[in-house]
Amino acid sequence: MQESGKTQYICEEDIQRQLHICEEIKQRNEARREGTPLACIQTYGCQQNVADGQRLMGMLEACGFAFTEEAGRADLVVLNTCAIREHAEQRVFGNLGLLTHTKRERPEQIIVLCGCMAQEERTARRIRESYRHVDLVFGPQALWRFPELLRQVYETKKRVFSVEDEAGSIAEGLPVVRERGVKAWVSIMYGCNNFCSYCIVPYVRGRERSRDPEAVLAEVRQLVEAGYKDITLLGQNVNSYGNDLDSGYHFPDLLEDISRIPGDYWIRFMSSHPKDASPALFDAMARCGPVAKQLHLPFQSGNNRILREMNRRYTRESYLELIRYARSVMPGLVLTSDVIVGFPGETEEEFLDTVSLVEEVGFDALFTFIYSPRPGTRAASMPDPVPRAEKQRWFDRLLEVQNRHSAKIHAGYADRTVRVLADGESGDGDYPLSSRTEGNRLVRLKGDPSLIGRFLDVKITGSNTWALYGEPV
């Protein structure tokens, strides 16, 4: 390992060793009588996991695997899991249960559980004791060592668990298989230091660490050259990018440098934490042509007592001030946010502060979640007297306010001509193309699939709460 500032980088030799193991496994696979082995990767949760899934695919491809969506046909099944809410975990356990059948039919099948759930001690214990058909378990910090761990399973024919509580490191140069198309994701940092009291992420993804700006710039340049046109920079809190590099280089600097890469493309980023979002960030966004004028800024609650209990370290007022400033330098900015309803001890009156904040800001869209206790977090031990059914009523009420507002904003697009990027097929016969505006609003289009990958001017002819409809002009 090498250290730069506080960040640990996996050294070139260690990465080369993993690639060498991939080659070894590949040779073994090529000698198989049964032909090319198949891997099935099931990814749950956020974009960060999707990006991790693309690395897993890259490593498996280097090991000589081809891919299938059907676990029943696969020689290797990988569950790339999410721990953010209980529901996500239940789905994984449900699917793990189903895999007992596929393994009974194919005893040679290898089952791997990785991602955020794997890093939770109680999950690892449960897998060890009750899901004995799982062969390999490793957390996000060990992702780069997947080839080595897989070889260990092949060679020892024993179950392998690599779930030590590591602070985390940065591994450059791992292979990646990207989805073909126009969208790509680039992790610029890993981990989180914020310890919001409801959140499991800092416990499973380790401490904040930023990739070297040169490595990020090289990756984005490569993506633009390869024809990707909608590139999203990822991190749990991109606004603290660079804090660990001790070089005075921060997220707005990265946006400026990326924007100098020639080409026709949009740059987005998520997520931002309001405590670290600054006027300097919004000024950089406004100045940089390729940076989409779109902001996802989770506020979680509109009530100051709840924000304090959540350990969010900003207030309703300072949040509103940020939004005012962002809109003053970027008129027409598209704004989205995350909200938690029913945090432990939240009263109806406090919840109504969330509703009023939503009404005051007028978000383009909102991601709303009912609070889900995560064992080991501070909030999980707080008294939580409000019944689930009551929280559901609050949730429905908030959703109704937001849906009405989204429909109204969308109706305001009528007859306007907007620039969109056609990014795929929609599956809707009348409007067969799917596209996105600079603000990332979905526009279903009349038109031919040959337009996919192109920026187009379209006229908006209709809308509802979730989408706009239009045709190329």
Q: Mark 266-305 with x for binding to ligand 5AD (rule: CB under 6 A) and - for no binding.
A: --------------------------------x-x-----
Question: Smallest distance from the beta carbon of 351 to ligand 5AD, in angstroms?
Answer: 14
Could you say which of 72, 202, 345, 424 contacts ligand SF4 (CB under 6 A)?
202
371 binds ligand 5AD (CB under 6 A): yes
Q: How far is the CB of 237 from ligand SF4 (least distance, A)?
A: 5
Is the Cβ–Cβ distance between 425 and 432 less than 8 Å? yes
Tokens for 293, please give them: 């004028």
- For 299-323, b/e burial (b = at least 16 CB within 10 A) is bbbbbbebbebbebebebeebeebb
Which parts of 365-424 interact with ligand SF4 (CB under 6 A)? Answer: none
> In the bound complex, what is the minimum distance in angstroms from residue 273's beta carbon to ligand SF4?
5
**Which residue number, 142 or 199, has a Cβ lying nearer to ligand 5AD?**
199
Retrieve residue 428's tokens.
Answer: 């809707």
Residue carrying the six token digits 């680039």: 186
CB of 85 vs ligand 5AD, minimal distance in Å: 5
CB of 243 to ligand 5AD, least distance (A): 20
Identify whether the C-beta of residue 315 lies closer than 8 Å to the C-beta of residue 357.
Answer: no
Min separation Cβ 238 and ligand SF4, Å:
11
Q: Which residue in the block uniquely carries the two structure tokens 């380790």?
A: 206
- Give the residue from 140, 174, 181 showing the smallest Cα distance to 60: 174
Picked from ligand SF4, ligand 5AD, none, the partner binding residue 273 (CB below 5 to 8 A depending on kind) is ligand SF4
Calculate the alpha carbon distances from 468 to 229, 365, 407 in Å.
Answer: 21, 13, 10
Of 117, 93, 439, the closest CA to residue 295 belongs to: 439
- The smaller minimum CB distance to ligand 5AD, of residues 213 and 342, is found at 342
**Residue 369, binding choice from ligand 5AD, ligand SF4, none, Cβ under 5 to 8 Å by partner class:** ligand 5AD
In total, the chain counts a number of residues equal to: 473
Positions 134 through 173 that interact with ligand SF4 (CB under 6 A): none
Size of the site for ligand SF4 (CB under 6 A): 10
Which residue's structure tokens are 């046909």? 73
* Interactions with ligand SF4, residue window 251-310 (CB under 6 A): 273
C-alpha–C-alpha distance, residues 276 and 274, integer Å: 5
Closest to ligand 5AD by CB, 20 or 87: 87
Binding-site member from 40, 170, 255, 340 for ligand 5AD (CB under 6 A): 340
Contacts (Cβ under 8 Å, ≥6 apart) of 443: 418, 420, 434, 435, 436, 437, 458, 460, 467, 468, 469, 470
Interacting residues toward ligand SF4 by CB under 6 A: 192, 194-196, 199, 201-202, 236-237, 273
